[in-house]
Amino acid sequence: MIDAILWDFGGVFTTSPFDAFSRFEAENGLPKDFIRGINATNPTTNAWAQFESNSVSIDEFDDLFAQESKALGHEVGGKAVVALLSGALRPRMVEVLKQCKQQYKVACITNNVKSGQGPSMARSEKKAQQMAEVMALFDLVVESSIEGVRKPNPKIYTLTCERLGVDPAKAVFLDDLGINLKPARELGMQTIKVVSEAQAIDDLATITGLSFPA
């Protein structure tokens, strides 16, 4: 029995920032997956982890990320990477959220940074308004940059469930990163790795028994 559905935002409701990373790498002569490699090095203490937990400012992040990337062979400023974060909205996933909201409590758990406009980190006023309308659909939004704790730390999942008033064993969590799903499973949640929009919606339909129009 499911009481709540918890969602990541970037890479779930928007196209993956990894696509933008890949374009940036190709345009700047960087090795494939170079940026993801930086973020995966010392993942609990690196510049990215500090920025998402609001431990450093954007200027400090810019310098720290540049140092980390330079150590791996190619210097990239952190601000250049932050500019790549806000993807294009996936309208069908938004409609699925609206339908789920009629049956379940819904919440967003997002690792984000204090850059751009609002939890979605939108880079323009038009996109910020669009993303804000989606964020308003959730019963609860939990942001790493506000809480000072980020996925995959189990605390952010338990905090979300406590605020929603649900048992983790009666929740489903969707995220595009496997590392973020593992602690959710360990808490008893059913999890869905978002590889594509269509696949994630099909998996959610299987778990909930709901039918989502194509």
HSE-up (13 A, CA, CB side) for residue 86: 21
What CATH class does 17-82 carry? mainly alpha
Please give the Cα distance from 179 to 36 (Å, whole number). Answer: 13
Kindly list the domain boundaries of the chain, sorted by start residue.
4-15+87-208, 17-82
pLDDT value for 170 = 98
> Tokens for 196?
């594509």
What is the second-level CATH architecture of the domain 4-15+87-208? 3-Layer(aba) Sandwich (3.40)
Residues 57-110 have pLDDT tens digits of 999 999 999 999 999 999 999 999 988 887 889 999 999 999 999 999 999 999
pLDDT class for 200, splitting at 50, 70, 90?
A: very high
- pTM for this predicted structure: 0.86
Which residues, 6 or more positions from 167, have their beta carbon under 8 angstroms from its beta carbon? 3, 161, 188
The two tokens of residue 79 are 């601000």
Q: What percent of the chain has pLDDT over 90?
A: 82
Q: What is the reported pLDDT for 185?
A: 98
118: pLDDT strictly greater than 70: no
Strands (E), 105-170: 105-110, 140-143
CA distances from 17 to 85, 89, 136, 188, 211 (A): 5, 12, 22, 28, 28
- 133-182 per-position pLDDT tens digit: 999 999 999 999 999 999 999 999 999 999 999 999 999 999 999 999 99
Whether residue 179 contacts residue 171, with contact meaning beta carbons closer than 8 Å, is answered with: no
Q: Are 118 and 135 in contact (CB under 8 A)?
A: yes
Going by pLDDT thresholds of 50, 70 and 90, the confidence category of residue 131 is confident
The C-alpha atoms of residue 208 and residue 210 are separated, in whole angstroms, by 5
